Chains A and B, each alone.
Chain A
Amino acid sequence: MVARTTPHQDERRDATLAGGGPPPPGRRGLRSRLAGRIPFGLRRLSVPYLLIIPAIALELLIHVIPMLVGVGMSFLRLTQFFIRNWSAAPFVGLSNYQVAVDFDSAVGSSLLHSFTITVAFTALSVGLSWLFGTVGAVLMQGAFRGRGFLRTFFLVPYALPVYAGVITWSFMFQRDTGMVNHVLVDQLHLLGDRPFWLIGGNSFAAVVIVCVWRSWPFAFLILMAGLQNIDNDYYEASAIDGASWWRQFRSITLPMLRPVNQVLVLVLFLWTFNDFNTPYVLFGKAAPQQADLISVHIYQSSFITWNFGSGSAMSVLLLLFLLAVTVVYLVATSRRRSDA
């Protein structure tokens, strides 16, 4: 896609250089004077860089510098005694990291527990979101009455503000007054006793359900767009050859969606693993142990115990883990594709 758009960009850039039509006489004079001073080759070379400077500056300011500050904090004992003057916080080297990965200690073992929960949560949520998204997109592929409405309807969870959606779920999951138990127990009589959803073992299921509800429309949207790009000729040709629906799905749809899926699964993984809003709004500051997701866990370990160095160290470990997974994933999926 990038390869195809590049010529357009070049054209646009040339147009910019040329001033987009006949330039006013005054400007022309300035331009030719400047052109006289700066060699043509240098000018040609520097323009793209000039154009991306604002983006790079913002990227540095918004992403890179805060990240580096976070990394720096992880080497300090940054407690309430020092937050007013960070420079006075004692340098403790790797000791914050040692505490975090010492799985025999209470801090380390609870971090490991939270990590394991998060891996399971992410695998389930991403898997289910992808599955629902794919099924939804494939079913919406053929034209039928009401398709436009259904497509819009499916996107509602994605369009709702996170807080509004998740707080509604937390009301629905309440034991005595929630709708979930009302339907399961009072109306369908599936369960004898009212289960808890927001505490105890079911809280894991609750957070997975809410997360899938929130993220499957995104998978649906992306895959629907991907499906539009598959030429109908393939399906027609295969139909003439007698391919079944399932065969078409396996041999045409899935392989053609492969590049889309590659990015989709990665993005879903990163978003889900890092998701803070869903568990925080659903459970509040203290999540149940069975649904102790890592982003809230780190928040709890640093913000509420006022130990920002330790929290930063955990964040850096999380970042390294996500980076490693991303690199391995990209290398593995790209290699397989070039083999094929």
Chain B
Amino acid sequence: MRIRKIGYVAVAGALLAAAAACGGGDTGGTASGGGTTDSGAAKTLTYWASNQGTSLDNDKQVLQPELDKFEKQTGIKVNLEVVPWADLLNRILAATTSGKGPDVLNIGNTWSASLQATGAFLPFDDKLLTDLGGKDRFLGPSLAATGAAGKPPTAVPIYGMTYGLFYNKKMFKEAGIDKPPATWDELVADGKKLTHGKQWGLAVEGASVSENSHHAFIFGQQHGSDLFDASGKPQFDSPQQVAAIKQYLDLMAVDKIVNPSNAEYSNGTEAVNDFVNGKAAMLMWQSIASQLKAANLGDDYYGLAPIPLPAPGSGGKQVNGMVAGINLAVFNFTKNRDGALKFVKFMTSAEEQQILNKTYGSLPTVQDAYNDPAFQTPTIKAFQDILAKTAAPLPQVPEESQFETLVGTAMNQLWADAASGKPITDESVKAKLTQANQQVQPGS
């Protein structure tokens, strides 16, 4: 009996240890990624690409011919891995921690300053930028989203994007609306006309942390909010920011032009599907070229207009988009620095910029790529115009990623409240934002 008891205790202890180690692993997981830096192999590079196409395989098909071209030109073989968005940041952090990972990689441009703080990436100083054709060759807004102001960029932009208002031309015609809304009042009025039966005025991705935080930023700008004060302290719960988020939530809670079910849309594709499948007439989104192409829908189906600006004189900034996009970074620990920089030069060349951005429906980040007629379509021209004139970069501070997580999560809960019919008030919004604000942990 005694021995048996000891046996149980031992079993239980081992299980507990297993459970605890798993718990610890979640927080401190440093599992090395698939890519490795081949020592002494100056002829190979490992490249982590982000998921830009309709699937990981689609990305491989798009990128592989270009990588083959690069190998032909330079003799350097590039091992490609397409990393899904849900894993990319974790994988980058693991690579940063362990010093083992790819030589070159894509990063979301809003992470630039946060990742810059790790010091794990090769800074693109003036000399390196000159090799790429100089600072002025890049689009200003995109280059501004590559790290903290006053420091050399931690990455260079390769795909440019911003937000616009997609609208369904047929539904607008049916509702007797002849042009896309230019003001918020018009958007709400149009939305009401477009909402009937199983059709809704606007689709949102209510449980997506990143979409929510992007909209919080754009509308916050329109209300004159600054997420961080001059000393870098977060102020997510300023009255302006509260008003901005409430305005967004009211589209569902008060104006009822958003399907309450959108509050559980979380994976970043559901709102797009609603727009593409004709369940919603409008969508505030970045490029959806791949999805439209997959559904075989052309310019006659949809149009793109800028998201309405605030009424002039309202005190807000004339901003209706964020500078979104993808940057290309080089890890400091690469054993093939020259090869990596050659690859960066290749990816930012006018020819590659044209080929890749054309496929992904994104905007080239260098001026000399725009002579291609593919970038003269109404959609691309509209996006280009927004990015050049009325888009603002997210704050380039190390705590930016915390803003996205905390405010985005708070908004998930607010959408859930709105969907279940709970009243959305200034107080309820402010309470959630204050809580998010208090959870920011200063990095330095």
Knowing that A83-B118, A276-B23, A322-B20 are A-B contacts, what are 12 other residue pairs whose CB atoms are under 8 Å apart, sorted by A's residue number? A2-B7, A3-B3, A80-B118, A83-B96, A199-B420, A259-B4, A274-B22, A295-B26, A306-B443, A307-B441, A310-B441, A319-B20
Does the CB pair A270–B19 fall under 8 Å?
A: yes
A80–B439 CA distance with the chains assembled, in angstroms: 16
Mark interface residues in B405-444 (1 if CB within 8 Å of A CB, else 0): 1101100110111011000000000000011001111011
List the A side residues contacting B359 at CB < 8 Å.
none
Does the CB pair B96–A303 fall under 8 Å?
A: no
B29 CB to closest chain A CB, in angstroms? 8
Closest residue of B by beta carbon distance from A302: B27
A138–B24 CA distance with the chains assembled, in angstroms: 38
B189 at the A interface (CB under 8 A):
no
Does the CB pair B27–A298 fall under 8 Å?
A: yes
List the A side residues contacting B263 at CB < 8 Å.
196, 199
Interface stretch among B9-17, B57-65, B164-172, B307-315?
B9-17
A286 CB to closest chain B CB, in angstroms? 4
Interface set, chain A 165-191, CB cutoff 8 A to B? 174-176
Across the interface, B435 reaches (CB within 8 A) one of A67, A106, A263, A298, namely A106
Closest residue of B by beta carbon distance from A310: B441
Tell me the interface secondary structure of chain A in the complex: helix
B25 at the A interface (CB under 8 A):
yes
Across the interface, B22 reaches (CB within 8 A) one of A267, A276, A323, namely A276
A305 at the B interface (CB under 8 A):
yes
Does the CB pair B17–A79 fall under 8 Å?
A: no
Nearest first, the 10 A-B pairs at minimum CB distance are A106-B438, A70-B24, A199-B416, A2-B7, A311-B27, A286-B409, A3-B3, A304-B405, A319-B20, A302-B27
List the B side residues contacting A276 at CB < 8 Å.
22-23, 26
List the B side residues contacting A322 at CB < 8 Å.
16, 19-20
A285 at the B interface (CB under 8 A):
yes
List the A side residues contacting B235 at CB < 8 Å.
none
B28 at the A interface (CB under 8 A):
yes
Across the interface, A308 reaches (CB within 8 A) one of B16, B20, B27, B118, namely B27
List the A side residues contacting B405 at CB < 8 Å.
285-286, 300, 304-305
Which of A1, A2, A62: most chain B Cβ within 10 A? A2
Q: A2-B6, A263-B12, A326-B16 are in contact. Are A81 and B409 (CB under 8 A)?
A: no
Does the CB pair B18–A106 fall under 8 Å?
A: no
A170 CB to closest chain B CB, in angstroms? 9
List the A side residues contacting B8 at CB < 8 Å.
259, 262-263, 330
Q: Count of A-B contacts with CB under 8 A?
A: 197
Q: A259-B8, A263-B11, A330-B12 are in contact. Are A198 and B264 (CB under 8 A)?
A: yes
Which of B12, B29, B119, B402: most chain A Cβ within 10 A? B12
Does the CB pair A6–B264 fall under 8 Å?
A: no
A168 CB to closest chain B CB, in angstroms? 15
Q: A107-B439, A270-B16 are in contact. Are A305 and B402 (CB under 8 A)?
A: yes
B21 at the A interface (CB under 8 A):
yes
A86–B260 CA distance with the chains assembled, in angstroms: 46
List the A side residues contacting B259 at CB < 8 Å.
176
16 cross-chain CB contacts under 8 A? A1-B7, A3-B1, A63-B21, A84-B99, A84-B119, A199-B263, A276-B22, A284-B207, A285-B209, A289-B413, A302-B28, A303-B90, A304-B405, A306-B443, A326-B12, A330-B12
Does the CB pair A305–B115 fall under 8 Å?
A: no
Does the CB pair A199–B27 fall under 8 Å?
A: no
Interface set, chain B 383-413, CB cutoff 8 A to A? 398, 401-402, 405-406, 408-409, 412-413
Does the CB pair A323–B16 fall under 8 Å?
A: yes
Closest residue of A by beta carbon distance from B406: A305
A303–B25 CA distance with the chains assembled, in angstroms: 11
Does the CB pair A81–B438 fall under 8 Å?
A: no
List the A side residues contacting B55 at CB < 8 Å.
none
Interface residues, chain B, with chain A CB atoms under 8 Å away: 1, 3-9, 11-13, 15-29, 86, 90, 93, 96-97, 99, 114-115, 117-120, 207, 209, 259-261, 263-264, 266-267, 398, 401-402, 405-406, 408-409, 412-413, 415-417, 419-420, 434-435, 438-441, 443-444
List the B side residues contacting A80 at CB < 8 Å.
93, 114-115, 117-118, 398, 443
A81–B435 CA distance with the chains assembled, in angstroms: 24
Does the CB pair B24–A81 fall under 8 Å?
A: no
A309 CB to closest chain B CB, in angstroms? 9
A163 CB to closest chain B CB, in angstroms? 12
List the A side residues contacting B1 at CB < 8 Å.
3
Does the CB pair A3–B21 fall under 8 Å?
A: no
B58 CB to closest chain A CB, in angstroms? 21
List the B side residues contacting A326 at CB < 8 Å.
12-13, 16
Interface set, chain A 277-316, CB cutoff 8 A to B? 283-286, 288-289, 295, 298-308, 310-312, 314-315
A298–B11 CA distance with the chains assembled, in angstroms: 26
Across the interface, A303 reaches (CB within 8 A) one of B24, B26, B420, namely B26
A99 CB to closest chain B CB, in angstroms? 8
A266 at the B interface (CB under 8 A):
yes
Across the interface, B26 reaches (CB within 8 A) one of A69, A299, A310, namely A299
A66–B26 CA distance with the chains assembled, in angstroms: 11
A105 at the B interface (CB under 8 A):
yes
Which of B7, B11, B26: most chain A Cβ within 10 A? B26
A313 CB to closest chain B CB, in angstroms? 10
A234 at the B interface (CB under 8 A):
no
List the B side residues contacting A262 at CB < 8 Å.
8
A15 CB to closest chain B CB, in angstroms? 22
A73 at the B interface (CB under 8 A):
yes
Does the CB pair B266–A284 fall under 8 Å?
A: yes
Does the CB pair B27–A67 fall under 8 Å?
A: no
List the A side residues contacting B443 at CB < 8 Å.
79-81, 306
List the A side residues contacting B264 at CB < 8 Å.
174-175, 196, 198-199
A80 CB to closest chain B CB, in angstroms? 5
A245 at the B interface (CB under 8 A):
no
Closest residue of B by beta carbon distance from A294: B23
Closest residue of A by beta carbon distance from B274: A176
